[in-house]
Amino acid sequence: MNAPSLDRLTIAIAQLNPIVGDIPHNVAKIAGALMTARSQGADLLVTSELFLTGYPPEDLIRKPQFLAAARAAIDVLAQEQGKGDTALLLGAPWQQDGEVFNAVVLIDQGAIQTVRFKHELPNYGVFDEVRVFEPGPCPGPIPFRGVRLGVMICEDMWFPDVTETLAETGAQLLIVLNGSPFEADKVDERIRRAVARIKESDLDLLYVNQVCGQDELVFDGASFALDRSCVLKLQAPAWSEAILNTDWRRGEDGRWAIQPGPITRRHDADEAIYQALVLGLRDYVTKNRFPGIVLGMSGGIDSAICAAIAVDAIGADKVHLVMMPSRYTSRDSLEDAALAAGMLGAELREIGIAPAIDAFDQMLGPSFAGRGPDLTEENLQSRARGITLMALSNKFGWMVLSTGNKSEMSCGYATLYGDMCGGYAVLKDVYKTTVFEISRWRNAHRPAGALGPEGPVMPERIITKPPTAELRENQTDQDSLPPYEVLDAILHGLIEEELTAAQIAAKGYDPATIQAVWKMLDRAEYKRRQAPPGVKITRRAFGRDRRYPITNGYQGNS
């Protein structure tokens, strides 16, 4: 067994993509990473939080047989670790005295050496770890080959207690195992929290995060290291797996310091959001073993950017686009849909819905006698399209990709069992103004790892023309909604910031418009409960982040 010299330690980070619940897959990932770390001369390999089971495992943790499988897998990994000199710091669940903990396990010399438990259990937003785990005590350092490792698990870094305990009990460096989901500006927040812990402890810090899509959550990786002067020493890539060595040296003063390592360029906001959508969709489709995607191609910007994301995620050969014109569909829309499909290299088929609408008119005509056309007939068109897509899904196994965005879902500007139908809604947490921004970005850039083409992915006219559902003559979205730059600003105030109408009005917005938007937001809750899952990119995504009762008599928003 090679022990590190008294003045040098090599710690490898395993920024990898687990599958929740697939313990054999995750064990194979760890075993492969151990082999790589050995070949690179690492003393210790560090995984992300609960990597053995995938994160977040949610109520799988309540299954005794699942916990038993996880425990058996730890023993398998101990045997694997014993084949070489690289030790393993593993995120895993741990059952002890009838209680279950979110734990980190040190495996060395082919055996479990130490177990520590997560102290700070998040219980807000998408997190409800209090439901399935018990909090552990503030941990002391983990002794490892003559070095005292101050190990924390994710939320432990967001508050001072664990760091203070580790520093006071002799930790010499800080290692954080994370399952930290992506949100816009989240990287800066992580850095701020890490800086606070460094200043409290005067210790260098290594932060390891997973990279994957898991239902609505997407994890961006972007692992990093800071020295005790809060200088960035390592920045792992976002949105891709990586096994990277970090080099640590003990100085003449006896203190451990991380040495400079690779620093990957950080993505700008539009690129980060686009990459989040691609990874979230790719992992949802592949991990659930769908053979492909089908979506309605309207000639509008939402379906065009969804098609681009889908092609970038899984390849054009697995993306099936369907144009479903009615008598209200414009020639521009037909042309734009065909051009976008051609630019992406994806299949486009045309299935007109006129026969279905005629059949509905004949079927419902006697019941509708004496009543003129209204929203009912518009919704029938949307539902005919939904039925068509679901039929293709049933026949070929393709997943229907819903194309609605957050602005529409906020206001109920969507049709149940129509454009809302589908297995996944990739734009569910993306405001319309952001849809425009990422569409312009993708037309000018091809993201790293994308399977789609270089160059533009949609005609410029799709981006510049007024958005419309084309369910009646001369219809535009702004017939019933404020301009999107106004609407999205008001919605952001109501949803992400929880501001009152008066507070939003103080920013210069019309009070009557604010009230109208708030009423639409409030009334549409029942629709959102029936919407498919979609990638979370903001602090308050619809779903577990924002839980309002459907039956709700509260009227105060002043």
3-state secondary structure 405-457: CHHHHHHCCCCCCCCCCCCEECCCCCCHHHHHHHHHHHHHCCCCCCCCCCCCC
Query: Could you tell me which residues are beta bridge partners of residue 109?
Result: none
Q: Which of the listed CATH numbers 3.60.110.10, 3.40.50.720, 3.40.50.1820, 2.40.50.100 matches domain 8-258?
A: 3.60.110.10
pLDDT at position 542: 87
Statement: residue 344 has pLDDT above 60: yes
pLDDT bin (cut points 50, 70, 90) of residue 349 is very high
pLDDT bin (cut points 50, 70, 90) of residue 548 is confident
Tens digits of residue pLDDT in 164-220: 999 999 999 999 999 999 998 888 999 999 999 999 999 999 999 999 999 999 999
pLDDT bin (cut points 50, 70, 90) of residue 553 is confident
Residue with tokens 């439901």: 131
Statement: residue 549 has pLDDT above 60: yes
Tens digits of residue pLDDT in 14-51: 999 999 999 999 999 999 999 999 999 999 999 999 99
pLDDT at position 169: 96
pLDDT at position 1: 44
Is residue 83 among the annotated active site residues? no
pLDDT at position 449: 93
Statement: residue 478 has pLDDT above 80: no
Burial class (CB in 10 A: 0-12, 13-18, 19+), 211: buried
Select which of 29, 49, 212, 421 is catalytic. Answer: 49
pLDDT bin (cut points 50, 70, 90) of residue 364 is very high
Q: Residues 21-24: contacts with CB within 8 Å, 24+ apart?
A: 21/53, 21/54, 21/57, 21/60, 21/66, 22/54, 23/52, 23/53, 23/69, 23/70, 23/73, 24/73
Mean pLDDT for all residues in the chain: 92
Q: What percent of the chain has pLDDT over 70?
A: 96
Q: What percent of the chain has pLDDT over 90?
A: 83
Is residue 306 among the annotated active site residues? no
Q: Which two tokens stand for residue 50?
A: 């609960």
Instruction: Determine which helix (DSSP H) or strand (DSSP E) holds 381, and give its type and residue range.
Output: helix 375-396
Select which of 138, 154, 212, 306 is catalytic. Answer: 154
Domain ranges (residues) in the chain: 8-258, 273-474
Query: Which pairing describes strands 211-214 and 217-220: parallel, antiparallel, or unpaired?
Result: antiparallel
Select which of 29, 118, 233, 536 is catalytic. Answer: 118
Sheet of 224-226: strands edge to edge?
142-144, 147-153, 173-178, 205-209, 224-226, 232-235
Lowest mean pLDDT across 12-16, 131-135, 387-391, 551-555: 551-555
Quick one: CA torsion of 524, 529, 533, 536, rounded to 10 degrees?
Answer: 60
Is residue 120 among the annotated active site residues? no
Q: Which of the listed CATH numbers 2.20.25.10, 3.40.50.410, 3.40.50.2300, 3.40.50.620 matches domain 273-474?
A: 3.40.50.620
Statement: residue 556 has pLDDT above 80: no
